[in-house]
A and B are shown apart, each in its own frame.
Chain A
C-alpha cells in the first residue's frame, strides 16, 4: 500500500471537484459556502491520483471526514486522516478538538481517543485532547445543589434591559442563578465585551453568577450541519444537541433545576429553539418562559440596539439598555461602527 498524504487546496477548481465528487460518493451532499468557507485546512489521502480519504478542520472542529470503504481495512485510512488533522492542529497549539458526526461513526472516533458528550437521533458530539467538559464544569462557581438553582443562556449582543428583566425574574424566583454567556466570537460585540457588560449590568443582584459558556453552549450558528440530508432539520438537530449538553452535563453537575427562557416574537429560530428545550429538558430541568419586557409597547431587542449603532442614533437606545451598556457604547461608538463597516452583520443574534 503506497498512500500519499497531501494538503488539498479547495480554492483550486480541479482539487475542489475531486474532493466534492469523492464526498458525494460517500453520501455528503451539502457544499454550501457557509459550510465550506470556514474550513482552515483540508488533507487528502491519495492512492496514485485517486483520492481515498479526506478530512478538514475549522477552528477546533473536525469536518468533512470521509474515507473510501472499498480498500480500507480496520479503519486504516480513517485513523490516518484523523491523526494527520490532530497533528496539524497540535502544531498550531490547538489540542482540544471537537467533532459532530452521524451517530454510526461515533464508535470510530471513540476508538481514536474521542469521548462522546451527547448523542441524538441525528448526530453525536464528541471531544478529545487536553481539556474536557469536566474541566469546564470544575472551573465554574459551585452552589448548594439541593437549593433552587436556575440557569439562563444568552448571547447578549449587547446586554439590554430585556436581558436584565429576564435575569431579575430568575433572581427573584430562585436561590441561585447561573447566567451563561455564549463564548462564540461571531457577534458585533466580542465575547469578553458581552460577558463583561452582563457582569456589570447585574452586579447588584447578589445571587446571580455570570460565567462564560465556553465551548459547550454552542450558539447554533457554529454547529456544522453538512452531513444532514435536509436543511430543514438543521435548527432542530443543533438545538437538540445544545439542549442535551445542558441537561446531561451542565444542569446535572451544577444542580440546576430550572431553565429560564425569553420569548422572541420576531424570531422563528428562537421559537423552535424554545420548543425543543421544552421537549428535552423536563422533568430533570423545568422550563420557565418569561414574556419579553416591553418599553412603550415595543419589544426590547438587542437587534434594535445594533441598528441604532449603525444608524448613529445612540441616544435613541438610552432607555432600553442599562447605564453600563450605554456608557460602553458611547465610549466605543467609533470602534463598533467600524466593525459594522468591515462587514460584521448586525442581523441574526
Chain B
C-alpha cells in the first residue's frame, strides 16, 4: 500500500520531531536530520519504521527532522502525518495504533 499526497506533523521546536510523509516509489525511504543521529539515529528510524509497518505502507518517503524527541513523540507525530497523508485523520485506523 502507498499514499498519494504529502502530509506533515510536528514542529522544529525542542523535544519535538517534524515528520513529512510523501509518495514513494522505492520502498520505505527514511531520511533523518538530528543532532543525536550518531547515538540514537537507528532507534529513531526503527520507531518510525514500526509505525509505517503497522499501517501496511510499502512505498513511502519519510523526512524526519528531529530536535531531541522522545520515543512516544516520534510515534505520535509519525502516526498523525501518515493518517493525514492517507486522508483518514477523521477516522483513525485504531488497529494500527
Contacts and interface: CB of A to CB of B under 8 A. Distances in A.
B87 interface: no
6 shortest interchain CB distances as A-B pairs: A130-B22, A113-B65, A83-B12, A79-B12, A83-B11, A130-B6
Nearest to A89: B8
Contact of B13 (A83, A111, A131): A83
B67 interface: yes
18 contacts: A74-B14, A76-B13, A76-B14, A79-B13, A79-B14, A79-B67, A84-B11, A86-B12, A86-B18, A87-B8, A90-B7, A95-B20, A95-B22, A112-B12, A112-B18, A113-B18, A113-B65, A130-B61
Interface of B: 6-8, 11-14, 18, 20, 22-23, 33, 35, 61, 63, 65, 67
A74 B18 CA distance: 18
A130 B20 contact: yes
Contacts of A82: 12
Interface in A115-136: 128-131
Contacts of B7: 90
Instruction: Among A111, A112, A113, find the residue whose CB has the most chain B CB atoms closer than 10 A.
Output: A113
Contacts of B61: 130
B11 A87 contact: yes
Nearest to A80: B13
Given A112-B65, A113-B63, A130-B61, A83 B6 contact: no
Contacts of A131: 22
A83 B20 CA distance: 12
Contact of A111 (B8, B14, B33): B33
Contacts of B22: 95, 130-131
B12 A95 contact: no
Given A83-B13, A128-B63, A131-B22, 19 more contacts: A79-B11, A79-B14, A80-B12, A82-B12, A86-B18, A87-B8, A87-B11, A90-B7, A90-B8, A95-B20, A110-B33, A112-B18, A112-B33, A129-B20, A129-B63, A130-B6, A130-B20, A130-B61, A130-B63
Contacts of B18: 83, 86, 112-113
